């Protein structure tokens, strides 16, 4: 807005006058004092306020505002005022009663030393009572801490007892109903322990023909137990195979997903994933048992309609089997007599699903690639079963110079000969790798060590017992760093129980916490581990690097 404006004012009915108006701009911001709004026209009206310029006071030459006039200084002063009193005594012509009078006798004079001595005795009495109160509180706190400590120890003991009972219950459940490979390892290990005990008892108590007869009976019992374990294994393998098939098909039917820039997950179904999901639902339907006859016939007709889309030998065979089952069901054949036929239908339909031409989505998940040339990469020869297998099927120790046997051959040989249970070593290795991953210091050696190397380290170097308490329960033992400031290695480790490991990792100085003899014993074990693992070329490079680092420190 300009500083000067011209305003035309109507002075008469037909005359106007131009007036020049000078705009004075405010030097301050006008506050908003409220207002109202017209409901019909919508025009807003603001409240206005005016303030005249304050009158400036004339200067009289006298300082009106100063610190002396605004500040008050106070002063405290004792003052004794006069108090005029009088007394009256008995005399001739005046009697004053002495009933209310008091007889005052001078007391014993107390010197300054006596006064201070009495004050000191009073202070001693006060200190005595205070110290008694403080001692009572201290004893009560100690008693409360002792009670809490005993309660915690009892709770820990109860928890350990419960964990042990739970572990025994799980082991018993795993032996009664074995499901996994580790469960069957425990069964074979228990069988071997029982066989050795029986042989030891027979050799100790029997001789001659009686011993031979007892050994033959023991061999028959062992064969029966092995056959029983084999039946359990067949059932577990069948259940595991069914779960693996469903998991494989469910993986094929998963929609495509990706993570956007804002962190949200976007999913998209393609024609291939929809096709895989449709085949998955049909497979689940034909795999169901104990369903009504009408529903079973509907499922078979749906399957027949699905596979007839492609004309080949496989689909023709599936259609023939479907027609055969429908015909037998219409003739009221028993369910038990149809189990073999239904298994054949499921097997052929699974083969149909795994064919990329019928189910394109399965091509990216199949272990056997469609291109045969890819099979020549990372393939090794097993000298035991005479098969060419991928490198993932071989368990190669760190000190091995050859490929050796595959995992399946090693498992069969273990079940037939040693029957060792390696679950405890696998758990120790798993806990060790998880603890090393928490340090986030790019540890590498722990991932080079295999289960066989860790087993040698525990059995031959550490004697399968804790270095502190000599506890030999491997399920309660863990391996941790000896010096927590350096990465784990066979020459920087110690075998302890879980509680001992937690306390060990909290130490700031090993020399102050342990005696010199204990440290010397641990260093001797580390030297033995270095001597063994120095034969491995990969480990030797880490060994030289750690040695250079130690010299630098």
**Per-residue CA distances from 476 to 167, 447, 526 (Å):** 11, 22, 22
Q: What does the pLDDT read at residue 116? A: 95
Closest CA to 284 of 321, 247, 235: 247
> How high is the mean pLDDT of the chain?
85
Q: What is the pLDDT of residues 324-366, one digit of tens each?
A: 988 888 888 888 888 889 899 999 999 998 888 888 888 888 7
* pLDDT at residue 547 is higher than 70: no
Tell me the domain boundaries of the chain. 181-251, 265-366, 422-551
Cα–Cα dist 53/75, whole Å: 44
pLDDT of residue 143: 96
Residue 87 has pLDDT above 70, yes or no: yes
pLDDT at 375: 61
Q: Which residues contact 484 (CB under 8 A, 6 or more apart)?
A: 505
Chain segment 143-183, per-residue pLDDT in tens: 999 999 999 999 999 998 998 899 888 888 888 888 888 88
Which segments of 253-330 does DSSP mark as H helices, in order?
Answer: 271-287, 293-307, 313-330
Position 256 pLDDT exceeds 80: yes
pLDDT band at 397 (very low <50, low <70, confident <90, very high): low
pLDDT above 70 for 370: no
pLDDT, one tens digit per residue, over 7-40 is 888 888 778 888 888 888 777 677 788 888 998 9
Please give the backbone phi and psi of residue 187, each rounded to the nearest 5 degrees, phi first: -65, -50
Confidence check: pLDDT of 371 > 70: no
* pLDDT for the residue 369: 57
Q: Calculate Rg over the CA atoms of the chain.
A: 49
Length of the chain measured in residues: 553
471-474 contacts at long range (C-beta below 8 A, 24 or more positions apart)? 471/497, 474/424, 474/425, 474/428
Convert the pLDDT of each residue in 513-536 to its tens digit: 899 999 999 999 999 888 888 877
Of 432, 497, 439, 445, the C-alpha closest to 468 is: 497
Report, as an integer, the average pLDDT of 73-81: 79
Res 113: pLDDT:
94
Would you say 478 and 496 are in contact if contact means Cβ atoms under 8 Å apart? Answer: yes
Sequence-ordered list of residues with C-beta below 8 angstroms from that of 221, at least 6 positions apart, any chain: none
User: Which pLDDT value is given to residue 117?
Assistant: 95
* pLDDT value of residue 66: 72
Name residue, tokens 């509680």. 499
Predicted pLDDT of residue 438: 86
pLDDT band of 135, cuts 50, 70, 90: very high
Quick one: pLDDT at residue 152?
A: 93
Question: Is residue 35 classed exposed, middle or buried when 0-12, 13-18 and 19+ CB atoms within 10 A define those classes?
Answer: exposed
Condensed to tens digits (0 to 9), the pLDDT of residues 305-326 reads 888 888 888 889 999 999 998 8
Could you give the residue ranges of the DSSP H alpha helices within 373-515?
Answer: 407-416, 423-439, 445-448, 451-456, 498-505, 510-513
pLDDT at position 112 is: 94
Burial class (CB in 10 A: 0-12, 13-18, 19+), 336: exposed
Q: How far is CA 239 from CA 244, 245, 277, 285, in A?
A: 9, 10, 22, 17
Kindly report, residue by residue over 439-491, the tens digit of the pLDDT: 888 788 888 888 888 888 898 899 889 988 888 888 888 999 998 888 888 88
Angle at 461 between CA 458 and CA 466, to 5 degrees: 60
């Amino acid at each position: 807005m300009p500083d000067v404006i011209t305003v035309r004012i109507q002075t008469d009915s037909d005359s106007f006058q131009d007036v020049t108006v000078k705009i004075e701009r405010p030097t301050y911001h006008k506050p908003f004092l409220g207002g109202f709004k017209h409901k019909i026209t919508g025009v807003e009206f603001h409240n206005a306020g005016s303030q005249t310029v304050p009158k400036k006071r004339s200067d009289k030459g006298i300082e009106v505002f100063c610190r002396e006039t605004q500040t008050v200084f106070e002063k405290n002063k004792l003052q004794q005022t006069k108090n005029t009193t009088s007394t009256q005594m008995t005399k001739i012509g005046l009697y004053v009663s002495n009933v209310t009078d008091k007889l005052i006798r001078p007391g014993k004079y107390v010197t300054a030393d006596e006064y201070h001595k009495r004050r000191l005795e009073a202070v001693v009495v006060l200190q005595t009572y205070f110290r008694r109160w403080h001692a009572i509180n201290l004893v009560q706190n100690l008693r409360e801490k002792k009670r809490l400590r005993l309660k915690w120890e009892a709770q820990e003991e109860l928890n350990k007892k419960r964990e042990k009972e739970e572990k025994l219950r799980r082991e018993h459940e795993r032996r009664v109903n074995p499901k996994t490979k580790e469960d069957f390892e425990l069964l074979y290990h228990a069988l071997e322990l029982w066989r050795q005990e029986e042989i030891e008892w027979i050799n100790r108590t029997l001789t001659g023909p009686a011993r031979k007869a007892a050994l033959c009976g023991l061999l028959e019992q062992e064969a029966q137990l092995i056959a029983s374990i084999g039946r359990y294994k067949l059932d577990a393998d069948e259940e595991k195979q069914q779960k693996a098939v469903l998991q494989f098909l469910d993986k094929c039917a998963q929609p495509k997903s990706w993570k956007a820039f804002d962190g949200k997950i976007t999913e998209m179904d393609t024609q291939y994933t929809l096709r895989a999901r449709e085949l998955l639902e049909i497979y689940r339907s034909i795999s169901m048992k104990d369903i009504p006859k009408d529903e079973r016939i509907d499922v078979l007709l749906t399957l027949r309609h699905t596979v007839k889309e492609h004309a080949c030998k496989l689909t023709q065979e599936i259609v023939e089997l479907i027609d055969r089952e429908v015909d037998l069901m219409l003739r009221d054949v028993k369910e038990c007599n149809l189990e073999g036929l239904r298994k054949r239908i499921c097997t052929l339909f699974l083969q149909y699903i795994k064919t990329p031409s019928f189910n394109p989505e399965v091509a990216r998940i199949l272990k056997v690639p469609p291109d045969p040339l890819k099979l020549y990469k990372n393939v090794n020869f097993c000298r035991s079963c005479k098969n060419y297998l991928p490198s993932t099927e071989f368990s190669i120790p760190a000190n091995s110079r050859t490929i050796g046997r595959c995992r399946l051959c090693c498992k069969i040989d273990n079940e037939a000969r040693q029957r060792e249970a390696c679950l405890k070593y696998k758990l120790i290795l798993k806990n060790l790798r998880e603890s090393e991953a928490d340090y986030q210091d790019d540890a590498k050696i722990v991932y080079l060590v295999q289960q066989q190397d860790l087993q040698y380290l525990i059995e031959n170097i550490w004697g399968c017992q804790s270095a502190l308490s000599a506890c030999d329960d491997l399920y309660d033992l863990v391996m941790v760093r000896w010096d927590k400031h350096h990465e784990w290695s066979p020459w920087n480790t110690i075998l302890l129980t879980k509680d001992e490991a937690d306390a060990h990792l909290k130490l700031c100085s090993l020399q102050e916490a342990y005696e010199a003899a204990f440290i010397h014993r641990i260093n001797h074990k580390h030297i033995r581990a270095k001597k063994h693992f120095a034969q491995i070329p990969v480990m030797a490079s880490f060994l030289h690097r750690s040695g250079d680092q130690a010299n630098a420190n």
